[in-house]
A and B are shown apart, each in its own frame.
Chain A
Amino acid sequence: MTRLIGAGSLLLALGVAIYGALALMLGARRRHAGLLRSGQVAVYAVWALATAATLAMVYALVAHDFSVKYVAMVGSRATPLFYTVISLWGALEGSILFWIFVLTSLAALVTYQNRAREGLLVPYAGGVLMLISIFFLILLVGPANPFSAVFPVPPDGPGPNPLLQNHPLMAVHPPLLYLGYVGMSVPFAFAIGAVLSGDIDNDGWIRITRRWTLTAWMFLAAAIIAGMWWSYEVLGWGGYWAWDPVENASFIPWLTATAFLHSVMVQERRGLLKLWNLNLIVSTFALTILGTFLTRSGVLSSVHAFSEGPIGRYFLAFIAIVLIASFALVAGNSERLRPTGSLDTAVSRETVFLLNNLFLSAFTVTVLVGTLFPLVAEAIRGVKVSVGEPFFNRMTLPICAMLLFLMGVGPALPWRVASRDVVRRQLLPPAIAGVVALVLSLLAGVRSPYGLAAFMFGGFALAANVREFIDGALARRRAHGESPPVALARLVGANRRRYGGYLAHLGVLTVTLGIGASAMFRTEREATLRKGEVIEVGKFTVRFDEVTYREEPQRGVLAAWVTVLKGGREVGRMEPRMNFYPTSDQPVPTPAVRSRAAGDLYINLQAFEQDGSTATLRVIVEPLVPWIWIGGMIVCLGALVSLGGGKREPALAAARVRAVPPVRPTPVGLEEPAR
């Protein structure tokens, strides 16, 4: 019954999606109101059907209905309910089902949000979203059907991949990633919709696109950080980023989206970079599909031996269609995307944005080339090569340093023209902060040139961005006599988009600080200890007490109990573990992490003697690691603040930027027009 509902809904959804795509595309072409209305209804219907199928799958998982193929693949009676539910995205078929659920939900949402909007932009965009849905529905009805029948029905299943049921972050990382990945379909749909509707010079599409890119970008940022956190908490190597192909796959579209979020301001304010922005949007979407292809087809070897199957070919065909159709459309219409402004001087905010895009593009290309190089090398020379951390670190660190520098310069410079006087006044205090940061990091013992550059430019950018808040609040205080906290809150509230951006900068700087400190000041020791013996790492003394074993319903837990001492005083007990899952012979290491603002104490159980007499422990002291996660949250908070912007408050903005003549009637910092 569940199978019937699920499979039936998907099949029906495919039919309705095909109708919806045709109705919206043809309706828009012929300007046929009836077709357009029915197409709109189809978008909602596809969403309802996809939701029904997803719920049917959740029900089948919870009910342990092993006659459903996906449940037989990832379900198990012993798995706790929580992990049973989230195993919805624990393997290939379920993750594609979840994908279509998110995609159709977003399609229904944008259709509803823009239902009153005139013109052909929304119908075309809806049509594009339906076309994308058709692809994923074909996968679900065909090669990746999660509802296939299993007969005879197995009495029990193997349970989810042990790595995926070992940490609650698995409930967070994949949905965020899908929201980010799938979310990029919306800006893509509106970009293509704008080209198809011929309405490309109307700025309506760029506003919708910007908001949705920012939304998806925020989720993607959160997903990347959550993925780093998961890897840190589960994999037991004490690191959080390894330039693994699948990590890169999520990072590359984030970079192009970041570039777009900056360069779109140049288009909105100065009428430049229109074609470039369109290309960034199309590339971002294509890169999300490429990322999915890399994760799902097993083309590149990776720690995410997630799943593989016959769907690689389908994805390849889809990527080919997306690349060929969208780039042909954009290139073919490029003549209509003439700049309506020009660059005035070399020293201005728009120049900084240009450089920012240049470096972000270089970053993108570097990571993309590094990721795909093993394939290229094998295709051309027939040799297997692997591109590892040294390549990525060496290539990307200089780019990161430049981006940090620009992050400080951008907010300080005005649009159009910056006189020498303004440049000096604006850049001198941050520059002093940069020098101070450099001296401090030298004193702290940093010697690597990139580390020094990162801390120096980081200090510079930090000062420049913090200064924006302080100066703005002071100006308000002078003008309105508000108390400092009120002035700060109103400043941000009235210029949400601008200060949300600065807040995101502060978040990125926090992440940089955490990564820099934990990479440079990490202390690590490994030792085999007998009961009562200690190992000293940094300020900590770790004493091995005993090994215990206990059975939990879905796994066996082998724990090495240790006592942590600091300065001779006991500060706590920790329990690095190995979890044994019945369907895997390899134990899943589960490090114990003690997090404090100053950093983490990270203990992993590497090995143990059968009789419990000795344990091999790897103890790592990593300063400031928690600030990576906190910084990620600040980035998302910044994006949320930016997204909340919509209303104008002109009086304030005029007071804020008197020095700069506005190009358009919109005052600086209030780029977000009411929709």
Chain B
Amino acid sequence: MNWKRATTAVAMAIPVIGILAFGLTRDPKAIVSPLPGKPAPSFALSVFAPGEGATALNVGDTVRLADHAGQVVVLNFWASWCLQCRDEHRDLSATATEYFDKGVRFYGLLYNDQESFGLRWIQEMGGQTYPSLLDPRTRTAIDYGLYGVPETFFVSRDGRVAYKHIGPISQRQLSQKLDSLLRDGAGAP
């Protein structure tokens, strides 16, 4: 074994490995969306899962985005067949309760799923604190340019899409974005 030559060979391999390692630091989920900053697409959808406690609505009520002007709204698209939605479920529920008094409203939007499957999922996952809506023929999902589930949209007080999050979201990420949205819009009505 000629160690000098071996070392030279290793030295030549290092830059290649370095470039690939750099590649890993980039976020492959950074899908360009034209939506942030634009007015959030409006919708009027009916409630199929009421939510719990103070946040609860009645099944069959119609929720309109337009009725929430001046409030921060979080829209979370989910499905019973979506495994990653399970990871964020608890965090979403907890954050929805925590921010209710600050005027933030959370809504789940069932994506390409059956109502009964959705209800069973909520029950099996130990409940959902905020209401979930049906999105017939995924019209709203199309309006929001959904790429997959889960995706979470933050609508600011002036009715614009402030952020879009792809993949499961954590309580920390939710709080961070909500706090900054509430701060920015502090002066707004």
The answer on a CB contact under 8 Å between A316 and B17 is yes
Pick the residue among B2, B8, B12, B23 that contacts A299 (CB under 8 A): B23
Contact with B along A311-335 (1 / 0, CB 8 A): 0110010011001100111111111
Does A640 interact with chain B (Cβ within 8 Å)?
no
Smallest CB gap from A323: residue in B = B13
Does B163 interact with chain A (Cβ within 8 Å)?
no
The answer on a CB contact under 8 Å between B28 and A298 is yes
Q: Which residues of B have CB within 8 Å of A323? A: 13, 16-17
Pick the residue among B12, B24, B81 that contacts A583 (CB under 8 A): B81
The answer on a CB contact under 8 Å between B2 and A333 is yes
User: How close is A329's CB to chain B, nearest CB, in angstroms?
Assistant: 7
Q: Which residues of A have CB within 8 Å of B24? A: 297, 299, 312-313, 316
The answer on a CB contact under 8 Å between B81 and A154 is yes
Give the contacts of A277-300 with B (CB-CB under 8 A): 290, 293, 297-300
Smallest CB gap from A305: residue in B = B28
| Cα separation A72 to B13 with both chains bound (whole Å) | 40
Whether A154 contacts B80 in the complex (CB less than 8 A), given A308-B28, A583-B112, comes out as yes
Q: Which residues of A have CB within 8 Å of B142? A: 585
| Cα separation A201 to B142 with both chains bound (whole Å) | 65
Smallest CB gap from B116: residue in A = A155
Give the contacts of A556-589 with B (CB-CB under 8 A): 582-583, 585
Q: Which residues of B have CB within 8 Å of A319? A: 17, 20
Whether A332 contacts B3 in the complex (CB less than 8 A), given A297-B23, A319-B17, A379-B22, comes out as yes
Q: Which residues of B have CB within 8 Å of A301? A: 28
Q: Which residues of A have CB within 8 Å of B121? A: 152, 154
The answer on a CB contact under 8 Å between A375 and B83 is no
Q: Which residues of A have CB within 8 Å of B117? A: 154-156
The answer on a CB contact under 8 Å between A331 and B81 is no
Smallest CB gap from A330: residue in B = B9
User: How close is B87's CB to chain A, nearest CB, in angstroms?
Assistant: 12
Residues of A within 8 A of B (CB-CB), count: 43
Contact with B along A343-384 (1 / 0, CB 8 A): 000000000000000000000000000001001101100000
Would you call the interface of chain A mostly helix, strand, loop, or mixed?
A: helix
| Cα separation A150 to B5 with both chains bound (whole Å) | 51
Smallest CB gap from A66: residue in B = B81
Does B45 interact with chain A (Cβ within 8 Å)?
no
| Cα separation A376 to B15 with both chains bound (whole Å) | 10
Q: Which residues of B have CB within 8 Å of A329? A: 6
Does A157 interact with chain B (Cβ within 8 Å)?
yes
Smallest CB gap from A379: residue in B = B22
Does A69 interact with chain B (Cβ within 8 Å)?
yes
Would you call the interface of chain B mostly helix, strand, loop, or mixed?
A: helix
The answer on a CB contact under 8 Å between A328 and B9 is yes
Q: Which residues of A have CB within 8 Å of B186? A: none
Does B69 interact with chain A (Cβ within 8 Å)?
no
| Cα separation A290 to B21 with both chains bound (whole Å) | 12
Whether A72 contacts B83 in the complex (CB less than 8 A), given A301-B28, A334-B5, comes out as yes
User: How close is B108's CB to chain A, nearest CB, in angstroms?
Assistant: 16
The answer on a CB contact under 8 Å between A150 and B83 is yes
| Cα separation A329 to B18 with both chains bound (whole Å) | 21
Q: Which residues of A have CB within 8 Å of B10? A: 324, 327-328
Pick the residue among B3, B13, B19, B120 that contacts A155 (CB under 8 A): B120
Whether A152 contacts B19 in the complex (CB less than 8 A), given A312-B24, A327-B12, comes out as no
Whether A585 contacts B141 in the complex (CB less than 8 A), given A72-B81, A155-B80, A323-B16, comes out as yes
Does B138 interact with chain A (Cβ within 8 Å)?
yes
Does B1 interact with chain A (Cβ within 8 Å)?
yes
Does B82 interact with chain A (Cβ within 8 Å)?
yes
| Cα separation A329 to B5 with both chains bound (whole Å) | 9
| Cα separation A498 to B24 with both chains bound (whole Å) | 45
User: How close is A418's CB to chain B, nearest CB, in angstroms?
Assistant: 36
Does A612 interact with chain B (Cβ within 8 Å)?
no
Does A158 interact with chain B (Cβ within 8 Å)?
yes
The answer on a CB contact under 8 Å between B23 and A300 is yes
Give the contacts of A374-427 with B (CB-CB under 8 A): 375-376, 378-379
Contact with B along A458-475 (1 / 0, CB 8 A): 000000000000000000
| Cα separation A72 to B117 with both chains bound (whole Å) | 14
Smallest CB gap from A155: residue in B = B117
The answer on a CB contact under 8 Å between B83 and A585 is no
User: How close is B4's CB to chain A, nearest CB, in angstroms?
Assistant: 9
Whether A152 contacts B124 in the complex (CB less than 8 A), given A299-B20, A299-B26, A327-B10, comes out as yes
Pick the residue among A69, A158, A331 that contacts B8 (CB under 8 A): A331
Q: Which residues of B have CB within 8 Å of A308? A: 28-29
User: How close is A578's CB to chain B, nearest CB, in angstroms?
Assistant: 15
| Cα separation A298 to B167 with both chains bound (whole Å) | 15
Whether A156 contacts B81 in the complex (CB less than 8 A), given A323-B13, A332-B2, A332-B6, comes out as yes
Smallest CB gap from B117: residue in A = A155
Give the contacts of A139-169 with B (CB-CB under 8 A): 150, 152, 154-158
Q: Which residues of B have CB within 8 Å of A154? A: 80-81, 83, 117, 121
| Cα separation A72 to B80 with both chains bound (whole Å) | 10
User: How close is B85's CB to chain A, nearest CB, in angstroms?
Assistant: 10
| Cα separation A298 to B28 with both chains bound (whole Å) | 5
Does A73 interact with chain B (Cβ within 8 Å)?
yes
Pick the residue among A316, A320, A334 that contacts B2 (CB under 8 A): A334
Smallest CB gap from B3: residue in A = A332
Does B146 interact with chain A (Cβ within 8 Å)?
yes
Smallest CB gap from B15: residue in A = A376
User: How close is B18's CB to chain A, nearest CB, in angstroms?
Assistant: 8
Does B96 interact with chain A (Cβ within 8 Å)?
no
User: How close is B9's CB to chain A, nearest CB, in angstroms?
Assistant: 4
Q: Which residues of B have CB within 8 Å of A297? A: 23-24, 28
Q: Which residues of B have CB within 8 Å of A156? A: 80-81, 117
| Cα separation A160 to B125 with both chains bound (whole Å) | 25
Does B110 interact with chain A (Cβ within 8 Å)?
no
Q: Which residues of B have CB within 8 Å of A157? A: 81
User: How close is A607's CB to chain B, nearest CB, in angstroms?
Assistant: 15
Whether A324 contacts B13 in the complex (CB less than 8 A), given A73-B83, A331-B2, comes out as yes
Q: Which residues of A have CB within 8 Å of B82? A: 158
The answer on a CB contact under 8 Å between A316 and B112 is no
The answer on a CB contact under 8 Å between B28 and A299 is yes
User: How close is A363's CB to chain B, nearest CB, in angstroms?
Assistant: 19
The answer on a CB contact under 8 Å between A320 and B17 is yes
| Cα separation A375 to B8 with both chains bound (whole Å) | 24
Does B79 interact with chain A (Cβ within 8 Å)?
yes
Whether A331 contacts B28 in the complex (CB less than 8 A), given A155-B120, A379-B22, comes out as no
Smallest CB gap from B18: residue in A = A379
Contact with A along B141-155 (1 / 0, CB 8 A): 110001000000000
Q: Which residues of B have CB within 8 Å of A334? A: 2, 5
Smallest CB gap from B2: residue in A = A332
Q: Which residues of B have CB within 8 Å of A73? A: 83
Other 17 A-B pairs with CB < 8 A, given A328-B10, A332-B3, A585-B138: A72-B81, A150-B83, A154-B80, A154-B117, A155-B80, A155-B120, A298-B28, A298-B29, A299-B23, A299-B26, A300-B23, A327-B9, A328-B7, A328-B9, A335-B2, A335-B5, A378-B26
Q: List 11 A-B contacts (CB under 8 A).
A: A152-B125, A155-B80, A155-B117, A293-B20, A316-B17, A316-B24, A323-B13, A324-B10, A335-B5, A375-B19, A582-B112
- The interface of chain A, by Cβ under 8 A from chain B, is 69, 72-73, 76, 150, 152, 154-158, 290, 293, 297-301, 308, 312-313, 316, 319-320, 323-324, 327-335, 372, 375-376, 378-379, 582-583, 585
